[in-house]
Amino acid sequence: MDYIGSENDGHQILQTGNSAYSDGDHELPNKKLKRFNVWNYYIKIQEDGKEMCECKACGKMFICGGRSGISQLDQHIPKCHLMMKSHFAEYFKLKKLEHVMVRHSITQMTIKHYLPFQFVEWDEFRAFTKFVSHNEDQYLSRDAVVADVMKVYLLEKDKLKKQLASFEGNVCLSFRCWTSPASSRGYVTLTAHFMDDKWNLIVKLLNFCHFDTSRDNFELSRKVIGYLQEWGIERNVFSITMDNASPNGDDLLNLKNQLSSLDSLLRTFITSATAPSLEKHFKCCDRVLDLMVQESLKLVYDVLDKIRNSLKYFSVSGSRWKQVFQCLEEVGGSDASDGLYLDVPGNWVSTYMMLMRAIKYRSVFERMCLKDTSYSHCPSSEEWERGEKICAFLKSFFGLTNIIPESTYPTSDTYLYEFWGIEFSLKKMMLSKDDKIRDICF
């Protein structure tokens, strides 16, 4: 339906297809074009030797031959209720389609550029939406964006499930642990690596979930098995690669045993009779460094434990955090951008971050000990000095750990300088008067 007014009120034909359209400021260029548009709504027929025109919407007949002209045909268009009904139905259908396309574009923009869900409620964005659509009734809320993003996620998840269901090859899994700087919560990512039918390497992030190994040593293995069964690839697992912040060995052994009980490819890989050496748990350079650091941290557990207990003590109530900030102001510190940081057990990188920031605010800990008589976890001066030496020691490992995962073409010269730095730190620590610091070197 294409007509929005009559000739008398200054409106002409609205184009939806081959029809022309103009508003009051843009009249039709000539009568021929107007005559052409009118015939889009009528069918010419012969009746009793006369040339008649039938309305496509209501079926009303008009004489159109000879000198009849098209005036009556043109006047009938705005009076035809069926034609108007069809026009408005088409108009609102197009508006609804336009709104759906706008929401789809906003969803894609949110996902691609990591925008917060609340950005659709910003005044500037709503002003832009009003300018573009001229409709305030179609403002989106953050809940609507969340729902749209979840729809896209479920759609993509269903596509990947169908792809994996038809896949008969090997799937290699990789895990990477990550600690949120804001909340100190531990997370793990599960990624699948496999080759498609055209021998293209496909890498898909399957799951991103929270886990806390301090409560249950087998939490990760249970979650992983559940995720693999959900994706339907528990029998296609060929190998598992984990980073240097992986859970304890018991959890990994439990994961391996459960996969073996499912007759997965990993069982064949582990128990191969022709290659018994494959039964071993391979350790990469990054993992070896992690084991070295973990053994070293055991010797200074008392210092780290006091810092952990201090942070837990501060976090119990908001009033204690206010006291911490008051102590920060009293000692002359104003920069709290780095903040205090509680580590994740088993992740020495987070332990290094916790120790480094705690040393920065050492005076705050000592000031808090004087103001709060119930606070009894402040490290002694000797322990603070030991913590500073350990922090300097971990700094060399921290730099090397950041380089190894980022190297796409690892060669010995890439890490030579960092290994030399570790050797220099060990030799320097051997001269320390602190027995525990010297024990780290042996």
Q: What is the average pLDDT value for the chain, to the nearest integer?
A: 74
Residue 405 confidence (pLDDT): 59
More confident position, 128 or 91: 128
Closest CA to 135 of 105, 76, 95, 103: 95
Please determine, for residue 12, whether its predicted confidence score (pLDDT) is greater than 50. Answer: no
| H/E element, 220 | helix 219-231
Alpha helices for 134-186 (secondary structure H):
142-165
Please determine, for residue 385, whether its predicted confidence score (pLDDT) is greater than 80. Answer: yes
Q: How far is CA 20 from the centre of its chain?
A: 46
Most confident of the ranges 79-88, 123-132, 377-386: 377-386
Residue 49, Ramachandran bin (φ over 0: left; ψ between -120 and 50: alpha; else beta): left
Residue 102 confidence (pLDDT): 80
More confident position, 258 or 374: 374
Most confident of the ranges 12-16, 181-185, 379-383, 434-438: 379-383
More confident position, 72 or 243: 72
How is residue 318 written in tokens? 């908001």
Convert the pLDDT of each residue in 187-225 to its tens digit: 888 899 988 888 888 899 999 888 765 555 577 778 888
Three-class secondary structure of residue 47 per DSSP:
strand
Buried b (16+ CB within 10 A) or exposed e, 259-280: beeeebbbbebbeeeeeeeeee
Please determine, for residue 270, whether its predicted confidence score (pLDDT) is greater than 50. Answer: no
Contact 337, 181 (CB under 8 A): no
**Domain boundaries in the chain?**
1-79, 86-149, 170-282, 291-440
Convert the pLDDT of each residue in 40-88 to its tens digit: 777 888 777 778 888 877 878 887 766 667 777 777 777 776 666 665 5
How many other β-carbons are positioned within 10 Å of the β-carbon of residue 343? 22
What is the pTM (predicted TM-score) of this model? 0.49
How many other β-carbons are positioned within 10 Å of the β-carbon of residue 250? 11
Q: From residue 197, how far is each of 60, 158, 169, 259 by CA, in Å?
A: 61, 19, 9, 25
How many other β-carbons are positioned within 10 Å of the β-carbon of residue 349? 21
Residue 352, Ramachandran bin (φ over 0: left; ψ between -120 and 50: alpha; else beta): alpha
Confidence of residue 423 (pLDDT cuts 50, 70, 90): confident
The CATH number for 170-282, chosen from 2.50.20, 2.60.40, 3.30.420, 3.40.630, is 3.30.420
Which residues face 184 on adjacent strands? none
* Max CA distance (Å), the chain: 121
Residue 150 confidence (pLDDT): 93
**Terminus-to-terminus CA distance in the chain, angstroms?**
88
More confident position, 161 or 259: 161
Residue 299, Ramachandran bin (φ over 0: left; ψ between -120 and 50: alpha; else beta): alpha
Length, in residues, of the chain: 442
Q: How far is CA 441 from the centre of its chain?
A: 42
Convert the pLDDT of each residue in 298-323 to its tens digit: 877 888 889 888 888 888 888 888 88
For the residues 2-17, what does the mean pLDDT come to? 36
CA dihedral 68, 74, 78, 82 (to 10 degrees): 70
Convert the pLDDT of each residue in 318-366 to its tens digit: 888 888 888 888 887 655 556 787 887 777 888 888 888 888 888 888 8
